[in-house]
Amino acid sequence: MALAVDGYLLFAFLGPIVGFFFVVGAIPFLIYSFCARNPRRRIIASRVALVLSVMSVLVSAILWLQLVSGYYRYDNRVNYRDPDFVVFEVIAALEALVLLASILNAVRQRARRM
């Protein structure tokens, strides 16, 4: 039982941090997909940015569950004004912004091909 709790806590804290690194990695591909002149490179960069941004949200799924539900584990309410939790809120907002931009960019790339 203790191993399961430790695994949850490890994933709850490391997930948003790893997700942040995925988002930071997706941003250059997203920018390049807007600026590239070669259509094939634009599409590839768009797909890489989309995959990285989706992976960032999936890795930090526990954080998203806590943000949406408003509860930690064992029915403890989330204090959104806690300075430690504000960092996770900023990471989640950055993930959501990059995911939205990646999806819109992929749709734009798909519409250009038609």
Six token digits for residue 79: 């204090």
d(CA 88, CA 2) in angstroms, rounded, equals 25
Average pLDDT, the chain: 86
The predicted model gives 65-90 an average pLDDT of 83
Domain carrying residue 48:
2-113
Q: How many domains would you assign to the chain?
A: 1
Q: Which of 100, 103, 102, 98 is nearest to 23 (CA)?
A: 98
Model confidence pLDDT, tens digit, residues 3-46: 555 667 777 788 889 999 999 999 999 999 989 889 889 989 99
Q: Within 13 Å of residue 9, how many CA atoms lie on the same side as its CB? A: 7
Beta-bridged to residue 71, according to DSSP, are: 77
Q: Give pTM, 2 decimals.
A: 0.83
- pLDDT value at residue 6: 63
Task: Give percent of the chain above pLDDT 90.
Answer: 45
Residue 60 pLDDT > 80, yes or no? yes
